[in-house]
Chains A and B, each alone.
Chain A
């Protein structure tokens, strides 16, 4: 069975899905990822789906599940690199990836997680973040 590799970059775990996902691969990925999050204490997970031509309801649910698992373990999940054709198909099918954050590429995804972590550190009491004001 193929396994999806999980790479650690700083405080972030990077998962790049390059193979067609089957039930077994998906379950294995969820287990591996949960273990790695606990073992490394990372606070961010980036799932790169640039190589995926097809995202169906199965992959969508897998992504949602991974995001939920990560959230329980205090890690933020960002899905990056969705292709335009994939996005259009998802919209046409009426599938929405609820509870999943997205970014255009890995770099933007890392920025997003970094900003979130910074916010969390600054505002431990969940104060509303003051909007940066522009001069009129």
Chain B
């Protein structure tokens, strides 16, 4: 239900004339539920900004939140809910921040009890509901983008490719390997092989908590892709339980070399490249 032009004008006037009273009550309600997690000054600034934007929009004759004249109001609301989402307030707290305006207005209307006022109030409350829903949507969108950002950062962090030796690179995998991560690992490993010209790669799965058929499938694909490019992969860091799981699931690694530890894998590669490894007696101090 949209406001009529008359109603919006009257409400704008009312809000402007009772500005002090309304913002004060509004601030009180919000402050009550936030329990001091936001400084009073900050809260008052936010409420006044919202109030000003609302009065502006109404005085320009906005009858609806989606109206042309309410652009600034929408921007202020979006800003408000983005701030709340980033500071870790819950969705209820954010939406209540807007819905509190109804109660605040009611206190401003207390003395006037005509039917016209009631009609105005209902129309206005529809507008506030719209504002609340809009806030909620922005809040959710902000949270989602936060989560997406974090997931991306996690991907960046968790897949380093390190050079172990001349012409040997290693990927220490840590954490659960899902399709998205496997894809990133695969691409980064293959790109590193090209960039460094290393014909050997060691995939270390010490940090992978569980290996199921899907994870094995991802690893196998990576190994086959590396082979197509002319590089050999060795899988290392297979813990006893994982070895048992692999056998129980019937996963075949075929002719892919698997080693128990990274050290074994490195020794294996060094032998292939013809580097001599020998154990030297520790030198005694004279």
Contact = CB atoms under 8 A, between A and B. Distances in A.
Interface stretch (A16-24, A35-43, A87-95, A120-128): A87-95
Interface string B197-234: 11100000000000000000000010011111111000
Interface residues of B, number: 26
Given A82-B228, A135-B277, A135-B278, A103 B191 contact: no
Contacts of B271: 132, 134
Interface in B241-286: 267, 270-271, 274, 276-279
Nearest to B183: A88
A96 B224 contact: yes
B224 A132 contact: no
B199 A103 contact: yes
A102 B279 contact: no
Contacts of B227: 102
B199 A87 contact: no
A10 interface: no
Given A103-B199, A104-B197, A134-B271, A87 B190 contact: yes
A130 interface: no
A90 B270 contact: no
B193 interface: yes
Contacts of A73: none
Contacts of B267: 134
A136 B280 CA distance: 11
Given A134-B277, A136-B279, A87 B197 contact: no
Contacts of B67: none
A90 B230 contact: no
Scoring B194, B277, B278 by chain A CB atoms within 10 A of each residue's CB, the highest score goes to: B194
B166 interface: no
22 contacts: A78-B230, A83-B194, A84-B187, A84-B193, A84-B229, A87-B225, A88-B190, A88-B225, A90-B225, A91-B225, A91-B228, A96-B228, A97-B228, A104-B198, A104-B199, A105-B194, A108-B197, A132-B274, A134-B276, A134-B278, A135-B276, A135-B278
Nearest 6 interchain pairs by C-beta = A84-B190, A102-B230, A103-B230, A87-B225, A87-B228, A135-B278
B185 to A, nearest CB: 11
B199 A108 contact: yes
Contacts of A96: 224, 228
Contacts of A91: 221, 224-225, 228
B186 interface: yes
Interface of A: 78-80, 82-88, 90-92, 96-97, 101-105, 107-109, 132, 134-136
Interface of B: 186-187, 190-191, 193-194, 197-199, 221, 224-231, 267, 270-271, 274, 276-279
Where chain B touches its partner, the secondary structure class is helix
A116 to B, nearest CB: 14
B197 A84 contact: no
A102 B229 contact: yes
A79 B234 CA distance: 22
Contacts of B224: 91, 96
A78 B187 CA distance: 23
B121 to A, nearest CB: 62
B231 A104 contact: yes
Contacts of A90: 225, 228
B225 A104 contact: no
B69 to A, nearest CB: 51
